[in-house]
Structure 1
Amino acid sequence: MSPKTAKPVAFADRYQSVLVPVIFEHWARELIRRSAPQAGEHVLDLACGTGVVTREVAKLGLNLGSQVAVDHSADMLKVARRLGSPDAHDIEWLQAAVGALPFEDGRFDLAYCQQALQFFPDRLAALGELHRVMKKGGRVAFCVQQGLAVNPMLRAQARALDKHVGEGAGSAVRAICGLPDGDELRSLFEDAGFTDIEVESVTLSLHHPDARAFAAGAMGGMHTGDKLSGLDGDRIDAAIEEFLTGLGDCYDGTAMRFPHVSNVVLATA
């Protein structure tokens, strides 16, 4: 189906089908590689979305103490539960706010949070709450998007939305890049009580074989809602063409290959 005739898709389903395979699976694997979960550890996936980090950890086949995934969105958790994991059947999927986690002090050995800290309404309070539920010496691994200047795919999205949907429509994309500074990240973790803080700029080279399909899905599934719904077909086509043009050398006429740059934070509770 073309974007003109396709039926509306719920955001959580679109997020899972469009963004997770292209972006979030790769960052999940990067965080797991850097943090090396161990058998017996109790692992938390904070702001888990549709559960990609949890599923990737489960694929390792470790005999974990427990796996818990938390998100504020019932819709995201519905998709996460539906997908589940053939590698682990005792994952806890819990709906909770990051600033009020329903766990006792010192519960977890390892916690992940990918591409979500920038959206937290009170980042320091959320990190303080995470510190509370970590064991002393427990590890955390975060990735947080850097700015539009170093992320051409997101820059192209923001410009296309602003031009063809309306001024400010690209704000959902700019929010993804709302915490780009490594020094600010370090200060947040320090103020929340973490130590041994490492902040590293990391670039992943990501790919989609059909850039036009990705554009329709991604711009129609931002965190603040479907930005293309309600537009007529010609305006949707124009927005997609603007996105493809904005990719520049990242687009070969069919596929897209683009750098995706984030800060990776490793710290100890």
Structure 2
Amino acid sequence: MILPGVTRKPLGADMPTDLTFADRYQSILVPVIFRPWAEELVRRAEPGAGEHILDLACGTGVVTRLVSSLAFQPGSLTGCDHSPDMLRVARTLADNAARDVEWVEADAAHLPFPDDRFDLAFCQQALQFFPDKPAALSDLHRVMKPGGRVVFCVQRELDVNPMLRAQAAALDACVGSTAGDAVRAICSLPDGNELRQLFKEAGFRDIEVDPVTLKLHHPDARAFAIGAMGGMHTGDKLSDLARDGVARAVGIFLDGLEDCFDGTAMTFPHASHVVVAKA
């Protein structure tokens, strides 16, 4: 919906063209989405002094940096991701924060750590992308100390996530259903009972699965649209479009936000399941 009297700026030279996927992910998605979820997960986990902590599928390291900024000294802090580009950004940001972190490139299903290594593990918005979820959770269980805690968040269904629903519609219309499917993949593990069963079969216990919705905000919905569809978990979906195609995709996205868009800013619910369990 376009509010009366509101006009949209044409796409111009301000559209980023020289950033890698990981750079866009960090600059656009992390402050709006992944930093608030990192805060929620860390609040629930209550990490303590001396604990050995793993940030699994750490991306550009937002959870790791948040833990590092707390007023205690962990026993160790490890960020692990399969993407060298994500880890490049994480290491660059760690030049100013989280200096003592070990950054490790590895597949989640084949973790290069000894048994019983960690007291606490975080994983935000990544489990749904693991090719072999049971293997990844089983290997995570292996590297956790008995009684160690894991805290995950996993996106819920598209119907309760209007920002993602608007992205999928825009990409379906302007790029194709395969691009739209990349957004739907973000919401591909929405069932709380399925999540509980995956953790149970991997050997975890005391499993809690809670639906949680955060209210998130970006002051410039147009800038967010360009950055988000160019910096998704699954890669840049706009780079092959001409400028007018990008403008059309952004317009469809903004219309799809409906009452989450005030003509300039966007404020939207972001719904996930938070899983807390013990090894």
Q: Does 1:78 align with 2:84?
A: no
| Equivalent in the alignment of 1:230 | 240
CA offsets, 1:23-72, max 9 Å, x none?
A: 00000000000010000000000000000000010110311100001000
Amino acid aligned to 1:13: D
The AA in structure 2 aligned to 1:221 is G
Aligned length: 269
The reply on whether 1:114 has 2:113 as its aligned counterpart is no
Cα offset, 1:223, TM superposition? 2.5
Pick one of 141, 144, 147 that aligns with 1:134.
Answer: 144
Q: Is the counterpart of residue 247 in structure 1 residue 247 in structure 2?
A: no
Q: CA deviation at 1:87?
A: 4.8
Q: Secondary structure at the match of 1:170?
A: helix
1:90: Cα distance to partner? 1.3
Corresponding residue for 2:58?
Answer: 48
Deviates more, 1:96-105 or 1:191-200: 96-105
**2:89 & 2:98 partners in 1: Cα distance?**
16
Equivalent residue, structure 2, for 1:39: 49
Native 8 Å contact 2:119 2:145 kept in 1: yes
Matches of 1:35 and 1:165, distance apart in 2: 40
Q: Which residue of 2 aligns with 1:221?
A: 231
SS class of match (1:125): helix
- The structural deviation recorded for 1:230 is 2.0
Tell me if structure 1 keeps the 8 A contact 2:150–2:276.
yes
Structure 2 counterparts to residues 5-44 of structure 1, below 5 A: 6-44=16-54
* Stretch moving more, 225-234 or 97-106: 225-234
Task: Check the 8 A contact 2:64/2:98 in 1, yes or no.
Answer: no
- Percent identity of paired positions between Structure 1 and Structure 2: 66
Paired residue type of 1:210: D
So what's the TM-score if we normalise by structure 2? 0.94
Contact 1:42 1:64 in 2 (8 A): yes
Equivalent residues of 1:4, 1:233 under 8 A apart:
no
User: Do the aligned residues in 1 keep the contact of 2:56 with 2:123 (CA within 8 Å)?
Assistant: yes
Query: Which amino acid is the alignment partner of residue 77 of structure 2?
Result: Q
What TM-score does the superposition give when structure 1 sets the normalisation length?
A: 0.97
Pairs within 5 Å for 1:119-268: 119-268=129-278
Q: Which whole-Å CA distance do the structure 1 matches of 2:53 and 2:96 have between them?
A: 18
Deviations 1:224-268 (A, max 9, x none): 321111211111111100000000000000000000000000000
Residues 82-93 of structure 1 aligned to structure 2 (within 5 Å): 82-84=92-94, 86-93=96-103
> What runs of 5+ residues in structure 2 fail to find an aligned partner?
1-10
